[in-house]
Structure 1
Amino acid sequence: MLTATCHCGAVRMETSARPLWLTDCNCSLCRRLGALWLHCDPAEVTFLCGEDDTVAYVQGDRTLAIHHCPTCGCTTHWRPTGEGNRMAINARLMEPGAIAGLRIRRFDGADKFDYLD
Structure 2
Amino acid sequence: MAISGSCHCQSTRFEVDAAPETVTYCTCSICSKRGALWAYYKRADVRILSKDGQSTYLWQSRTVRHNFCSICGCTTYTESPDFSTGEPDFDNPRISINARLLDDFDLDAVPVTVIDGKNLW
With normalisation by structure 2, the TM-score equals 0.82
Aligned twin of 2:117: 109
Shift of 1:96: 6.3
Shift of 1:94: 1.5
Aligned twin of 2:93: 85
CA contact (8 A) 1:17 1:40 kept: no
Structure 2 residue 9 is the aligned partner of structure 1 residue 17: no
The alignment covers a number of residue pairs equal to 112
Range with greater deviation from structure 2 (13-22 or 63-72): 13-22
Structure 2 residue 81 is the aligned partner of structure 1 residue 73: no
CA contact (8 A) 2:53 2:71 kept: no
Compared CA separation, residues 96 and 35, structure 1 to 2 (3 A): farther
What per-residue deviation string (whole Å, max 9, x for no partner) do you get for residues 59-116 of structure 1? 1222101001121111100002793421100111113644341111001111136xxx
What per-residue deviation string (whole Å, max 9, x for no partner) do you get for residues 4-41 of structure 1? 21000111101013433100000000000000100000
Q: CA RMSD in A?
A: 2.0
* Within-5 A mapping of 1:36-75: 36-50=37-51, 53-75=53-75
Shift of 1:2: 1.9
Structure 2 residue 13 is the aligned partner of structure 1 residue 5: no
Identity of aligned residues (%): 33
With normalisation by structure 1, the TM-score equals 0.84
Gaps of 5+ in 2: 82-88
Whole-Å separation in 2 of the counterparts to 1:86 and 1:96: 23
Kindly provide the amino acid, as one letter, of the partner of residue 67 in structure 1. Answer: N
CA contact (8 A) 1:2 1:98 kept: no
Aligned twin of 1:30: 31
